Amino acid sequence: MQAYDRKAQRLIETAEPGGASVRFLYGNPLGRQLLKAITGKRFSDSRAKYYASPRSQKKVAAFFREYPQACEGLRATDYPSFRDFFIREPDPADRPLPEEEGALVAVADSKLLVYTIAPGTVLPVKQSNLTAGQLLGDRTYAALFAGGYALVFRLTMENNHHYVFPDSGTVLREYEIRGKLHSVQPITGRQGKVFTENTRQVSLLDTAHLGLVAQAEVGALLAGRMVSHGKREFRRGEEKGYFDLGGSAIVLLVQKGRVAIDEDILGQSAQGIETLVRMNERVGVAI
């Protein structure tokens, strides 16, 4: 797949770890039969036990061989299991905050697409259409974001899976919506409203510069568990939690007229192209 590299200011080819397996599960009739068995909690829990065991260390070494760029500066032998590698702490020195107080920052290392939330609160996520109400599990909350922006941060296996708050403020409400554990790779959007079925954790945030923000962490295959630190007051760039295994996504909803998204990201998003972003990198600014 292609993604936009902001530093190089050009499109680059990016790897999609596990992409072949996802294409089989969602694009093949036999795969879709198997999918019924593996999108539930029992399968996810059994795989999680394996990835937390020393037996999975060989997968760490294999990952380092296949994706050396994603593992730059790391040593496979430092991680006794694949889970230990997956939930590794990010390096704060490599993810500095912007100096502008009103800057909206990327909440995770990821690929970012930005959409305008159309009238009627219908939110397009890749090839799937879903409402903001379905994402949040509440139409009343969703109506508050009509005409604003939805920022979809898609994390894949090579990303660090810790995530932060986009601004300083307080948590108004935090709740979990249980569901199935689908992949969040783009191909799954053609099979239905996948984001509305995935387990997700939703937080309504009262922020200092961006106003009301909804932040929804979306679990995926082998990543049904989002570990929240449970903070009620927070600072911009402070860690909010992390995903425990698997690919995943985070969706931010911001209200109309509150944020100006950076032009390069908007331009690529208009063409359906994701932009590579790092945690704490500026992606917009408060109006």
What pTM value is reported for the model?
Answer: 0.84
Question: What is the pLDDT confidence band of residue 221, given thresholds at 50, 70 and 90?
Answer: low
Please check whether residue 184 is in contact with residue 218, taking contact to mean a CB–CB distance below 8 angstroms: yes
The pLDDT, as a whole number, for residue 43 is 65
Q: How buried is residue 13: exposed, middle or buried, by Cβ count under 10 Å (0-12/13-18/19+)?
A: exposed
User: Which string of DSSP letters, residue by residue, matches 13-66?
Assistant: E---TTHHHHHHHHHSHHHHHHHHHHSSHHHHHHHHHHHTSGGGHHHHHHHHHH
Which range among 38-42, 131-135, 162-166, 247-251 has the greatest average pLDDT? 162-166
Residue 104, pLDDT > 90, answer yes
For the chain, percent helix, then strand, then coil, each to nearest 5? 30, 35, 35
More confident residue, 236 or 176: 236
The pLDDT, as a whole number, for residue 25 is 44
**CA dist 170 → 166, 195, 212, 252, 254 (Å):** 12, 26, 10, 16, 15
Q: Is 222 left (phi over 0), alpha (psi -120 to 50) or beta?
A: left
Q: Write down the number of H helices and E strands in the chain.
A: 9, 18
Q: Which residues are part of the catalytic machinery?
A: 109, 248
Sign of CA dihedral 253, 126, 239, 225: positive
- Residues 136-146 as b or e (16 or more Cβ within 10 Å = b): bbbeebbebbb
Which range among 120-134, 162-176, 210-224 has the greatest average pLDDT? 162-176
Which range among 37-46, 92-101, 122-131 has the greatest average pLDDT? 92-101
In the predicted model, what is the mean pLDDT of the chain?
Answer: 83
Q: How buried is residue 50: exposed, middle or buried, by Cβ count under 10 Å (0-12/13-18/19+)?
A: middle
Distance of CA 66 to the CA centre of its chain: 22
More confident residue, 22 or 85: 85
Nearest one of 98, 172, 77, 132 to 256, comparing CA atoms: 132
